[in-house]
Structure 1
Amino acid sequence: MTKLFEISLSKRTLLGTIAAAAMTAALLSLSPRATMAAEPAFLIPPPSIDATASGNTQKAIFAGGCFWGVQGVFQHVKGVKNAVSGYSGGDQATANYETVSGGRSDHAEAVEITYDPKEVTYGQLLQVFFSVAHNPTQLNYQGPDHGPQYRSEIFTTDDEQKKIAQTYIAELDKTRIYGEPVVTKVSDLSAFYPAEDYHQDFLTLNPTYPYIVYNDMPKIDNLKALFPDSFASTPVLVLKAKG
Protein backbone atom coordinates (compact mmCIF):
# COMPACT_ATOMS: atom_id res chain seq x y z
CA MET A 1 0.00 0.00 0.00
CA THR A 2 2.83 2.41 0.80
CA LYS A 3 4.46 1.85 -2.58
CA LEU A 4 1.17 2.44 -4.44
CA PHE A 5 0.55 5.63 -2.50
CA GLU A 6 4.01 7.00 -3.16
CA ILE A 7 4.06 6.49 -6.90
CA SER A 8 0.63 8.04 -7.30
CA LEU A 9 1.60 11.29 -5.60
CA SER A 10 0.84 14.44 -7.49
CA LYS A 11 3.36 15.92 -9.90
CA ARG A 12 3.69 19.05 -7.76
CA THR A 13 4.50 17.00 -4.67
CA LEU A 14 7.14 14.98 -6.49
CA LEU A 15 8.80 18.04 -8.00
CA GLY A 16 8.55 20.15 -4.88
CA THR A 17 10.32 17.92 -2.37
CA ILE A 18 13.99 17.17 -1.92
CA ALA A 19 13.09 13.60 -1.05
CA ALA A 20 11.76 12.97 -4.57
CA ALA A 21 15.16 11.96 -5.92
CA ALA A 22 15.76 9.44 -3.18
CA MET A 23 12.24 8.08 -3.54
CA THR A 24 12.72 7.66 -7.28
CA ALA A 25 15.89 5.65 -6.83
CA ALA A 26 14.23 3.38 -4.30
CA LEU A 27 11.20 2.78 -6.47
CA LEU A 28 13.24 2.05 -9.57
CA SER A 29 14.92 -0.80 -7.76
CA LEU A 30 11.46 -2.36 -7.39
CA SER A 31 10.74 -2.33 -11.16
CA PRO A 32 7.60 -0.17 -10.76
CA ARG A 33 6.40 -0.70 -14.33
CA ALA A 34 5.75 -4.33 -13.51
CA THR A 35 3.79 -3.51 -10.35
CA MET A 36 1.60 -0.65 -11.56
CA ALA A 37 -2.16 -0.97 -11.83
CA ALA A 38 -3.29 -1.72 -15.38
CA GLU A 39 -5.37 0.93 -17.13
CA PRO A 40 -7.88 -0.49 -19.61
CA ALA A 41 -7.99 0.81 -23.16
CA PHE A 42 -11.19 2.72 -23.83
CA LEU A 43 -12.58 2.62 -27.35
CA ILE A 44 -14.93 5.43 -28.39
CA PRO A 45 -16.51 6.23 -31.76
CA PRO A 46 -14.93 8.92 -33.95
CA PRO A 47 -16.67 12.30 -34.37
CA SER A 48 -19.37 12.43 -37.02
CA ILE A 49 -17.97 15.64 -38.52
CA ASP A 50 -14.35 16.55 -39.13
CA ALA A 51 -12.18 19.31 -40.53
CA THR A 52 -11.33 19.46 -44.19
CA ALA A 53 -7.69 18.77 -45.03
CA SER A 54 -5.53 21.63 -46.22
CA GLY A 55 -1.96 21.91 -47.40
CA ASN A 56 -0.62 23.68 -44.30
CA THR A 57 0.18 22.50 -40.80
CA GLN A 58 -2.42 23.42 -38.21
CA LYS A 59 -2.62 23.80 -34.45
CA ALA A 60 -4.74 22.07 -31.83
CA ILE A 61 -4.58 22.97 -28.13
CA PHE A 62 -5.79 20.47 -25.54
CA ALA A 63 -5.75 20.56 -21.74
CA GLY A 64 -6.30 17.30 -19.90
CA GLY A 65 -4.45 17.20 -16.60
CA CYS A 66 -0.67 17.08 -16.30
CA PHE A 67 0.83 18.13 -19.60
CA TRP A 68 3.62 15.53 -19.34
CA GLY A 69 1.28 12.70 -20.28
CA VAL A 70 -0.81 14.61 -22.81
CA GLN A 71 2.32 15.77 -24.60
CA GLY A 72 3.79 12.27 -24.51
CA VAL A 73 0.68 10.74 -26.08
CA PHE A 74 0.49 13.16 -29.00
CA GLN A 75 4.21 12.92 -29.66
CA HIS A 76 3.48 9.32 -30.66
CA VAL A 77 0.67 10.13 -33.12
CA LYS A 78 1.54 9.96 -36.81
CA GLY A 79 1.05 13.31 -38.53
CA VAL A 80 1.93 15.29 -35.41
CA LYS A 81 4.98 17.44 -36.15
CA ASN A 82 5.39 18.97 -32.70
CA ALA A 83 3.71 18.90 -29.30
CA VAL A 84 4.66 21.55 -26.76
CA SER A 85 3.70 21.64 -23.09
CA GLY A 86 2.47 25.01 -21.88
CA TYR A 87 -0.29 27.13 -20.42
CA SER A 88 -3.58 28.50 -21.79
CA GLY A 89 -6.53 30.33 -20.33
CA GLY A 90 -4.77 33.05 -18.36
CA ASP A 91 -2.46 36.03 -18.72
CA GLN A 92 1.16 36.05 -19.80
CA ALA A 93 2.23 37.35 -16.39
CA THR A 94 1.05 34.16 -14.68
CA ALA A 95 2.20 31.70 -17.37
CA ASN A 96 4.84 30.01 -15.24
CA TYR A 97 4.87 26.69 -13.45
CA GLU A 98 5.17 28.02 -9.92
CA THR A 99 2.05 30.17 -10.29
CA VAL A 100 -0.01 27.77 -12.38
CA SER A 101 0.71 24.66 -10.30
CA GLY A 102 -0.22 26.53 -7.15
CA GLY A 103 -3.68 27.27 -8.55
CA ARG A 104 -3.00 30.99 -8.61
CA SER A 105 -3.91 31.67 -12.24
CA ASP A 106 -6.65 31.07 -14.78
CA HIS A 107 -4.36 28.83 -16.81
CA ALA A 108 -4.74 25.15 -17.53
CA GLU A 109 -1.74 22.97 -18.24
CA ALA A 110 -2.14 22.52 -21.99
CA VAL A 111 -0.39 21.08 -25.02
CA GLU A 112 -0.08 22.83 -28.37
CA ILE A 113 -0.09 20.25 -31.16
CA THR A 114 1.22 21.11 -34.60
CA TYR A 115 -0.06 18.59 -37.13
CA ASP A 116 -0.34 17.91 -40.84
CA PRO A 117 -4.08 17.66 -41.66
CA LYS A 118 -3.27 15.49 -44.67
CA GLU A 119 -1.89 12.85 -42.29
CA VAL A 120 -4.12 13.21 -39.23
CA THR A 121 -7.35 15.17 -38.86
CA TYR A 122 -8.55 17.36 -36.04
CA GLY A 123 -11.31 14.86 -35.35
CA GLN A 124 -8.80 12.03 -35.05
CA LEU A 125 -6.78 14.08 -32.57
CA LEU A 126 -9.96 14.65 -30.55
CA GLN A 127 -10.65 10.91 -30.55
CA VAL A 128 -7.20 10.26 -29.09
CA PHE A 129 -7.71 13.07 -26.57
CA PHE A 130 -11.00 11.65 -25.30
CA SER A 131 -10.07 7.97 -25.38
CA VAL A 132 -6.40 7.83 -24.39
CA ALA A 133 -4.92 11.12 -23.21
CA HIS A 134 -7.20 11.81 -20.24
CA ASN A 135 -10.50 11.12 -18.49
CA PRO A 136 -13.01 13.78 -19.64
CA THR A 137 -15.44 13.11 -16.77
CA GLN A 138 -13.12 14.37 -14.03
CA LEU A 139 -13.94 17.96 -13.12
CA ASN A 140 -10.92 20.11 -12.28
CA TYR A 141 -8.61 17.17 -11.68
CA GLN A 142 -6.91 14.23 -13.34
CA GLY A 143 -5.83 11.27 -11.23
CA PRO A 144 -3.68 12.51 -8.35
CA ASP A 145 -3.53 16.12 -9.60
CA HIS A 146 -6.29 18.37 -8.29
CA GLY A 147 -7.18 21.95 -9.12
CA PRO A 148 -8.59 23.94 -12.05
CA GLN A 149 -5.15 24.01 -13.65
CA TYR A 150 -5.70 20.31 -14.40
CA ARG A 151 -9.12 20.79 -15.96
CA SER A 152 -10.30 19.25 -19.21
CA GLU A 153 -10.53 21.98 -21.83
CA ILE A 154 -10.21 22.38 -25.59
CA PHE A 155 -8.93 25.74 -26.81
CA THR A 156 -10.15 26.19 -30.37
CA THR A 157 -8.40 28.28 -33.00
CA ASP A 158 -11.41 28.87 -35.27
CA ASP A 159 -15.15 28.28 -35.65
CA GLU A 160 -14.64 24.98 -37.46
CA GLN A 161 -12.67 23.50 -34.56
CA LYS A 162 -15.26 24.79 -32.10
CA LYS A 163 -18.13 23.17 -34.00
CA ILE A 164 -16.32 19.85 -34.30
CA ALA A 165 -15.39 19.78 -30.61
CA GLN A 166 -18.82 20.82 -29.32
CA THR A 167 -20.59 18.36 -31.61
CA TYR A 168 -18.29 15.53 -30.56
CA ILE A 169 -18.82 16.18 -26.86
CA ALA A 170 -22.59 16.14 -27.39
CA GLU A 171 -22.31 12.87 -29.30
CA LEU A 172 -20.20 11.24 -26.61
CA ASP A 173 -22.62 12.37 -23.90
CA LYS A 174 -25.55 11.00 -25.89
CA THR A 175 -23.97 7.55 -26.06
CA ARG A 176 -23.38 7.59 -22.28
CA ILE A 177 -20.25 5.67 -23.08
CA TYR A 178 -18.42 6.96 -20.01
CA GLY A 179 -21.26 6.42 -17.58
CA GLU A 180 -20.82 10.03 -16.45
CA PRO A 181 -21.17 13.39 -18.20
CA VAL A 182 -18.26 14.85 -20.15
CA VAL A 183 -17.07 17.98 -18.32
CA THR A 184 -14.66 19.18 -21.01
CA LYS A 185 -14.94 22.90 -21.71
CA VAL A 186 -14.61 24.36 -25.19
CA SER A 187 -13.12 27.86 -25.28
CA ASP A 188 -11.72 30.23 -27.86
CA LEU A 189 -7.93 30.30 -27.74
CA SER A 190 -6.60 33.63 -26.52
CA ALA A 191 -2.96 32.61 -26.25
CA PHE A 192 -0.67 29.66 -25.65
CA TYR A 193 2.50 30.08 -23.60
CA PRO A 194 5.17 27.36 -23.77
CA ALA A 195 6.19 25.90 -20.43
CA GLU A 196 9.68 25.89 -19.04
CA ASP A 197 12.27 23.81 -20.87
CA TYR A 198 12.49 21.19 -18.13
CA HIS A 199 8.85 20.23 -18.77
CA GLN A 200 9.36 19.60 -22.48
CA ASP A 201 9.65 15.95 -23.61
CA PHE A 202 9.43 14.94 -19.94
CA LEU A 203 7.79 11.57 -20.53
CA THR A 204 10.27 10.52 -23.20
CA LEU A 205 13.30 11.71 -21.26
CA ASN A 206 12.12 10.27 -17.92
CA PRO A 207 10.25 7.01 -18.65
CA THR A 208 11.16 5.51 -15.25
CA TYR A 209 10.11 8.53 -13.17
CA PRO A 210 7.51 7.14 -10.73
CA TYR A 211 4.76 9.59 -11.66
CA ILE A 212 5.28 8.83 -15.36
CA VAL A 213 5.43 5.07 -14.80
CA TYR A 214 2.18 4.94 -12.90
CA ASN A 215 0.08 7.64 -14.53
CA ASP A 216 1.32 8.11 -18.09
CA MET A 217 3.10 5.09 -19.57
CA PRO A 218 -0.20 3.14 -19.67
CA LYS A 219 -1.54 5.89 -21.95
CA ILE A 220 1.21 5.17 -24.47
CA ASP A 221 0.39 1.45 -24.30
CA ASN A 222 -3.30 2.22 -24.83
CA LEU A 223 -2.56 4.49 -27.77
CA LYS A 224 -0.63 1.71 -29.46
CA ALA A 225 -3.38 -0.82 -28.72
CA LEU A 226 -6.33 1.33 -29.81
CA PHE A 227 -4.74 3.14 -32.75
CA PRO A 228 -2.02 0.85 -34.13
CA ASP A 229 -2.15 2.43 -37.59
CA SER A 230 -1.70 5.91 -36.11
CA PHE A 231 0.98 5.00 -33.59
CA ALA A 232 4.48 6.36 -34.20
CA SER A 233 7.07 4.33 -32.32
CA THR A 234 9.56 7.21 -32.43
CA PRO A 235 8.15 10.32 -30.73
CA VAL A 236 8.50 13.80 -32.15
CA LEU A 237 10.49 15.75 -29.59
CA VAL A 238 10.35 19.48 -29.02
CA LEU A 239 14.09 20.00 -29.38
CA LYS A 240 14.14 17.91 -32.55
CA ALA A 241 11.20 19.87 -33.98
CA LYS A 242 13.00 23.14 -33.29
CA GLY A 243 15.99 21.91 -35.21
Structure 2
Amino acid sequence: MSGVSSSSGGSPTATPIPEGAEKATVAAGCFWGVEHAFRKKFADSGLYDARVGYIGGDVANPSYRAVCGGNTGHAEATQLIYDPTQLSYSQLLEFFYRMHDPTTVDQQGPDRGPQYRSGIFFHSPEQETIARDITKSVDEQWWSGRVVTEILPAKEWWDAEEYHQLYLDRNPMGYECPSHFTRPFPELK
Protein backbone atom coordinates (compact mmCIF):
# COMPACT_ATOMS: atom_id res chain seq x y z
CA MET A 1 0.00 0.00 0.00
CA SER A 2 1.35 3.46 -0.70
CA GLY A 3 0.09 6.87 0.16
CA VAL A 4 0.46 10.18 -1.51
CA SER A 5 1.04 13.30 0.47
CA SER A 6 1.33 16.77 -0.92
CA SER A 7 4.52 18.67 -0.50
CA SER A 8 5.12 22.39 -0.61
CA GLY A 9 5.45 23.48 -4.17
CA GLY A 10 2.38 21.57 -5.30
CA SER A 11 3.88 18.30 -6.45
CA PRO A 12 2.63 15.21 -4.64
CA THR A 13 5.32 13.13 -2.97
CA ALA A 14 4.81 9.36 -2.92
CA THR A 15 5.53 8.10 0.57
CA PRO A 16 5.56 4.33 1.02
CA ILE A 17 3.19 3.28 3.77
CA PRO A 18 3.46 -0.30 5.02
CA GLU A 19 0.43 -2.56 4.59
CA GLY A 20 -1.92 -2.23 7.58
CA ALA A 21 -0.32 1.00 8.82
CA GLU A 22 -2.47 3.83 10.15
CA LYS A 23 -2.03 7.58 10.22
CA ALA A 24 -2.42 10.08 13.08
CA THR A 25 -2.05 13.85 12.73
CA VAL A 26 -1.50 16.23 15.65
CA ALA A 27 -0.46 19.84 16.19
CA ALA A 28 1.26 20.91 19.40
CA GLY A 29 3.27 24.01 18.64
CA CYS A 30 6.61 24.15 16.83
CA PHE A 31 6.68 20.95 14.81
CA TRP A 32 10.42 20.31 15.20
CA GLY A 33 10.08 19.32 18.86
CA VAL A 34 6.82 17.43 18.38
CA GLU A 35 8.26 15.22 15.63
CA HIS A 36 11.43 14.67 17.65
CA ALA A 37 9.54 13.73 20.85
CA PHE A 38 7.34 11.17 19.08
CA ARG A 39 10.34 9.60 17.34
CA LYS A 40 12.25 9.31 20.61
CA LYS A 41 9.28 7.86 22.50
CA PHE A 42 7.99 5.37 19.92
CA ALA A 43 11.00 4.54 17.69
CA ASP A 44 11.05 0.90 18.78
CA SER A 45 7.32 0.60 19.52
CA GLY A 46 5.62 0.58 16.15
CA LEU A 47 6.20 4.10 14.80
CA TYR A 48 7.19 3.83 11.13
CA ASP A 49 7.56 7.51 10.36
CA ALA A 50 6.89 11.05 11.56
CA ARG A 51 6.71 13.95 9.11
CA VAL A 52 6.28 17.63 9.78
CA GLY A 53 3.94 19.73 7.70
CA TYR A 54 0.89 21.92 7.56
CA ILE A 55 -2.81 21.13 7.98
CA GLY A 56 -6.07 22.81 8.89
CA GLY A 57 -6.03 25.78 6.56
CA ASP A 58 -7.39 26.59 3.14
CA VAL A 59 -4.21 27.80 1.41
CA ALA A 60 -2.75 25.36 -1.13
CA ASN A 61 1.00 24.75 -1.25
CA PRO A 62 1.74 26.68 1.96
CA SER A 63 5.32 27.65 2.71
CA TYR A 64 6.88 27.89 6.15
CA ARG A 65 7.11 31.67 5.79
CA ALA A 66 3.40 31.94 4.88
CA VAL A 67 2.29 29.65 7.74
CA CYS A 68 4.45 31.59 10.22
CA GLY A 69 2.64 34.75 9.11
CA GLY A 70 -0.46 33.31 10.82
CA ASN A 71 -2.89 34.02 7.97
CA THR A 72 -3.10 30.65 6.16
CA GLY A 73 -5.28 28.86 8.71
CA HIS A 74 -2.72 26.06 8.81
CA ALA A 75 -1.13 24.66 11.95
CA GLU A 76 2.41 23.38 12.16
CA ALA A 77 1.69 19.67 12.59
CA THR A 78 3.18 16.20 12.76
CA GLN A 79 1.85 13.24 10.83
CA LEU A 80 2.58 9.84 12.34
CA ILE A 81 2.51 6.55 10.43
CA TYR A 82 2.32 3.62 12.83
CA ASP A 83 1.65 -0.09 13.20
CA PRO A 84 -1.68 -0.42 15.07
CA THR A 85 -0.75 -3.97 16.14
CA GLN A 86 2.12 -2.52 18.21
CA LEU A 87 1.02 1.02 18.99
CA SER A 88 -2.50 2.31 19.52
CA TYR A 89 -4.03 5.63 18.57
CA SER A 90 -4.90 6.06 22.26
CA GLN A 91 -1.23 5.69 23.25
CA LEU A 92 -0.24 8.34 20.71
CA LEU A 93 -2.86 10.78 21.98
CA GLU A 94 -2.04 10.19 25.65
CA PHE A 95 1.59 11.00 24.87
CA PHE A 96 0.47 14.04 22.84
CA TYR A 97 -1.28 15.39 25.96
CA ARG A 98 1.75 14.67 28.15
CA MET A 99 4.34 16.29 25.87
CA HIS A 100 2.81 19.75 25.33
CA ASP A 101 0.57 22.30 27.05
CA PRO A 102 -2.95 21.99 25.60
CA THR A 103 -4.33 24.82 27.75
CA THR A 104 -3.07 27.86 25.84
CA VAL A 105 -4.92 29.20 22.82
CA ASP A 106 -2.67 29.67 19.77
CA GLN A 107 0.50 29.32 21.83
CA GLN A 108 3.18 26.94 23.04
CA GLY A 109 5.74 28.51 25.34
CA PRO A 110 7.07 31.67 23.67
CA ASP A 111 5.68 30.66 20.25
CA ARG A 112 2.48 32.58 19.55
CA GLY A 113 0.01 32.52 16.68
CA PRO A 114 -2.67 30.23 15.26
CA GLN A 115 -0.02 28.08 13.59
CA TYR A 116 1.07 26.94 17.11
CA ARG A 117 -2.38 25.82 18.27
CA SER A 118 -3.09 22.46 19.85
CA GLY A 119 -5.06 20.17 17.56
CA ILE A 120 -5.97 16.62 16.70
CA PHE A 121 -6.91 16.04 13.07
CA PHE A 122 -8.77 12.74 12.82
CA HIS A 123 -8.79 10.45 9.78
CA SER A 124 -11.82 8.28 10.61
CA PRO A 125 -14.95 8.25 12.78
CA GLU A 126 -13.17 5.83 15.13
CA GLN A 127 -10.27 8.25 15.56
CA GLU A 128 -12.72 11.06 16.27
CA THR A 129 -14.41 9.02 19.02
CA ILE A 130 -11.08 8.09 20.61
CA ALA A 131 -9.82 11.68 20.37
CA ARG A 132 -12.92 13.06 22.07
CA ASP A 133 -12.84 10.39 24.81
CA ILE A 134 -9.12 10.85 25.56
CA THR A 135 -9.47 14.64 25.49
CA LYS A 136 -12.34 14.49 27.97
CA SER A 137 -10.33 12.21 30.28
CA VAL A 138 -7.13 14.25 30.22
CA ASP A 139 -9.09 17.47 30.63
CA GLU A 140 -10.72 16.11 33.78
CA GLN A 141 -7.80 14.15 35.23
CA TRP A 142 -4.67 16.05 34.18
CA TRP A 143 -5.48 19.58 33.05
CA SER A 144 -8.26 20.71 35.45
CA GLY A 145 -10.80 21.56 32.75
CA ARG A 146 -8.51 23.90 30.80
CA VAL A 147 -7.86 21.94 27.55
CA VAL A 148 -8.42 24.04 24.40
CA THR A 149 -7.27 21.44 21.85
CA GLU A 150 -9.20 21.46 18.56
CA ILE A 151 -10.55 18.15 17.30
CA LEU A 152 -11.22 18.42 13.58
CA PRO A 153 -11.43 16.22 10.50
CA ALA A 154 -8.10 16.05 8.68
CA LYS A 155 -7.99 18.25 5.61
CA GLU A 156 -5.28 18.05 2.99
CA TRP A 157 -1.79 17.52 4.40
CA TRP A 158 1.16 19.50 3.06
CA ASP A 159 4.70 18.29 3.81
CA ALA A 160 6.91 21.02 5.20
CA GLU A 161 10.04 21.90 3.29
CA GLU A 162 12.74 19.20 3.42
CA TYR A 163 15.03 21.17 5.77
CA HIS A 164 12.33 20.92 8.47
CA GLN A 165 12.19 17.12 8.36
CA LEU A 166 14.25 15.55 11.19
CA TYR A 167 15.34 19.08 12.05
CA LEU A 168 16.51 18.38 15.62
CA ASP A 169 18.37 15.24 14.52
CA ARG A 170 20.27 17.31 11.97
CA ASN A 171 20.61 20.32 14.32
CA PRO A 172 20.97 18.90 17.86
CA MET A 173 21.42 22.40 19.30
CA GLY A 174 18.45 23.77 17.33
CA TYR A 175 15.46 25.49 18.89
CA GLU A 176 13.09 23.32 20.87
CA CYS A 177 10.00 24.83 22.47
CA PRO A 178 10.40 24.82 26.28
CA SER A 179 6.83 23.57 26.69
CA HIS A 180 7.73 20.28 24.95
CA PHE A 181 8.61 17.81 27.68
CA THR A 182 6.96 14.70 29.08
CA ARG A 183 4.82 15.43 32.12
CA PRO A 184 4.68 12.73 34.82
CA PHE A 185 0.90 12.42 34.98
CA PRO A 186 -0.65 9.27 36.49
CA GLU A 187 -2.20 6.70 34.17
CA LEU A 188 -5.67 7.64 32.94
CA LYS A 189 -8.58 5.96 34.72
Tell me whether the two structures share a fold, i.e. TM-score over 0.5: yes
For 2:178 and 2:140, the matched residues in 1 are separated by 28
- The TM-score, its normalising length taken from structure 2, stands at 0.81
Q: In proportion to residue count, which structure has more helix?
A: 1
**2:80 aligned with 1:113, yes or no?**
yes
* Selected match of 2:133 from 164, 167, 172: 167
Q: Deviations over 1:132-161 (max 9, x none)?
A: 2x1111111001110011000000000000
The alpha-carbon deviation at position 104 of structure 1 amounts to 1.6
Q: Deviations over 1:178-206 (max 9, x none)?
A: 23511001000111110001101011111
Q: In proportion to residue count, which structure has more strand?
A: 2
- The TM-score, its normalising length taken from structure 1, stands at 0.63
Amino acid at match of 1:131: R
* Selected match of 2:22 from 37, 58, 63: 58
The alpha-carbon deviation at position 129 of structure 1 amounts to 0.3
Amino acid at match of 1:87: Y
Please give the secondary structure, in 2, of the residue aligned with 1:166.
helix
The alpha-carbon deviation at position 130 of structure 1 amounts to 0.4
* Selected match of 2:120 from 133, 147, 154: 154
Partner of residue 12, structure 1: none
User: How many corresponding residue pairs?
Assistant: 164
For 1:200 and 1:108, the matched residues in 2 are separated by 16
Counterpart mapping for 1:1-243 below 5 A: 56-76=20-40, 77=42, 78-93=45-60, 95-132=62-99, 134-175=100-141, 177-209=142-174, 211-212=175-176, 215=178, 219=181, 222=182
Amino acid at match of 1:117: P
Say if 2:26 and 2:120, in contact at 8 Å, map to a contact too. Answer: yes
Unaligned runs of 5+ in 2: 1-18
Displaced runs of 4 or more, over 6 A:
none
Say if 2:59 and 2:73, in contact at 8 Å, map to a contact too. Answer: no
How well do the aligned residues superpose, as a CA RMSD in angstroms?
1.9
Change (3 A) 1:197 1:95: same
Partner of residue 26, structure 1: none
The alpha-carbon deviation at position 94 of structure 1 amounts to 5.2
Question: Which moved further from structure 2: 94-103 or 114-123?
Answer: 94-103
For 1:192 and 1:92, the matched residues in 2 are separated by 11
